[in-house]
């Protein structure tokens, strides 16, 4: 009986639960062109890792022409089904088919793109990749493996950039390489290794990336467009790198002192700037210029600053006039520290408060 128990334990040790090895909540996302083998080579190479990585779902981004090639070479030919059998994939592993859920075609203004050549095509593809990638990046139970090996170089670069913008440290970016002799083989075409000799010719490399989303807790409220998001990150990183300005507020005269330079503001503009400073200090800065809740009213009431405006603050939430007044006044005094523009209008560059003016004791600011 003891020998039997020992043998049973040994067998169990060699067969860990599939969930430890298979990462069933991962998704393989790839940009593809006219060489669908990129998809099968990557899936095969992932399965050879220790522990094996067998994604539950596979999604391909590409043009209408690359979709047709995927259908013909991988699905209709039975190559993908053969790969799943070779890798002993379960019913919920390596799921890939002809549905739009799996093959997603770049589109621009309701038109599918046959190729990506013009600046408009590139911009449309960038927005498309970011939009479709976001649904997986926002799922905490889904790990992304992004392959940048297929398609035009622009497509791989855009997927890499999108992963940098919204990917997480648990996600991966990969690039698969196959020996030239395998890539050139035509009869039959090469899709994945079928023997040890071919296996030596396929290499999967991880491409390091910096997940910028870790710096931005407000990602969920960020704009969805690729170019806009890049601009937002660029501004935020530039502001973070800038030295913090020394800022003092004097409620008695509506004067703001920035690094020793005084600027007197109109009363409402002064309140809006002090409100923006309050939002920055509490990490609650919204995107845009419209205050749609009671935060401004509550701020005014809490500091007892000009209560006569509190009654109209939320009925006139557009702060464009006040923000323009702040910028003009600061420009006139050569002060570069000021609110941003458009969607960053209430965001302030880094600053630290020095002792406020005469009404500090009264309003507690």
Could you report the per-residue pLDDT of 38-55, keeping only the tens digit for each? 999 999 999 999 999 999
What pLDDT, on a 0 to 100 scale, did the predictor assign at position 234? 78
Q: Is residue 150 part of a domain?
A: yes
Cα 61 to Cα 81: distance, rounded to the nearest angstrom: 20
Pair 212, 248 in one domain: no
Is residue 261 located within the same domain as residue 162? no
- 152 and 113 fall within a common domain: yes
Kindly state whether residue 209 falls inside one of the protein's structural domains: yes
Regarding whether 257 and 171 lie in a shared domain, the answer is no
Contact between 102 and 51 under an 8 Å Cβ cutoff? The reply is no
pTM for this predicted structure: 0.65
Burial 162-185 (b: 16+ CB within 10 A, else e): bbbbbbeeebbbbbbebeeebeee
Domain that holds residue 25: 20-220
CATH for 184: 3.40.50
Q: Are residues 133 and 215 in the same domain?
A: yes
How does pLDDT run along the chain (365 residues), one tens digit per residue?
444 443 333 333 333 334 334 444 899 999 999 999 999 999 999 999 999 999 999 999 999 999 999 999 999 999 999 999 999 999 999 999 988 899 999 998 889 999 998 999 999 999 999 999 998 998 888 999 999 999 999 999 999 999 998 899 999 999 999 999 999 998 899 999 999 999 999 999 999 999 988 766 554 445 568 888 887 777 777 766 668 899 999 988 999 999 999 999 998 889 889 888 888 888 776 655 555 556 666 676 666 555 555 444 444 556 788 888 999 999 999 998 888 766 567 778 888 888 765 433 333 33
Do 41 and 133 reside in the same domain of the chain? yes
Position 3 in a domain:
no
In a domain, 71, yes or no: yes
Residue bearing tokens 């302030």: 348
- The kind and range of the H/E element at 250 are strand 245-250
Backbone angles phi and psi of 148, in degrees to 5: -105, 15
Nearest-angstrom CA–CA distance, 254 and 264: 6
């Amino acid at each position: 009986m003891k020998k039997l128990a020992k043998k049973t334990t040994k067998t169990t040790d060699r067969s860990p639960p599939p969930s430890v090895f298979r990462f069933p909540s991962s998704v393989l996302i790839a940009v593809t062109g006219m060489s669908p083998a990129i998809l099968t080579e990557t899936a095969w190479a992932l399965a050879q890792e220790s522990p094996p990585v067998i994604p539950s779902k596979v999604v391909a981004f590409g043009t209408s022409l690359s979709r047709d090639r995927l259908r013909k070479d991988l699905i209709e030919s039975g190559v993908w089904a053969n790969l799943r059998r070779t890798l002993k994939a379960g019913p919920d592993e390596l799921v890939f088919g002809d549905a739009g859920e799996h093959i997603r075609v770049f589109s621009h203004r309701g038109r599918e793109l046959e190729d990506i050549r013009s600046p408009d095509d590139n911009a449309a593809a960038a927005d498309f990749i970011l939009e479709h990638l976001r649904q997986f990046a926002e799922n905490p139970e889904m790990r992304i493996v992004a392959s940048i090996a297929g398609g035009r170089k622009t497509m791989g670069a855009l997927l890499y950039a999108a992963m940098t913008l919204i990917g997480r440290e648990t996600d991966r970016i990969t690039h698969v390489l196959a020996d030239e002799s395998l890539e050139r083989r035509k009869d039959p075409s090469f899709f994945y290794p079928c023997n040890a000799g071919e296996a030596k010719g396929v290499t999967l490399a991880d491409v390091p990336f910096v997940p910028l989303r870790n710096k931005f807790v407000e990602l969920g409220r960020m704009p969805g467009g690729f170019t806009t998001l890049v601009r937002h990150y660029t501004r935020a990183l530039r502001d973070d790198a800038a030295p913090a300005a020394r800022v003092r507020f004097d409620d008695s005269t509506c004067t703001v002192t920035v690094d020793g330079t005084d600027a007197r503001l109109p009363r409402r503009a002064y309140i809006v700037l002090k409100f923006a400073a309050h939002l920055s200090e509490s990490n609650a800065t919204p995107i845009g210029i419209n205050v749609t809740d009671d935060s401004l009213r509550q701020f005014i009431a809490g500091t007892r600053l000009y209560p006569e405006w509190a009654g109209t603050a939320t009925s006139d939430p557009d702060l464009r006039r006040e923000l323009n007044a702040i910028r003009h006044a600061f420009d006139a005094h050569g002060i570069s520290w000021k609110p941003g523009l458009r969607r960053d209008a209430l965001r302030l560059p880094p600053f630290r408060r020095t002792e406020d003016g005469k009404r500090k004791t009264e309003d507690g600011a």
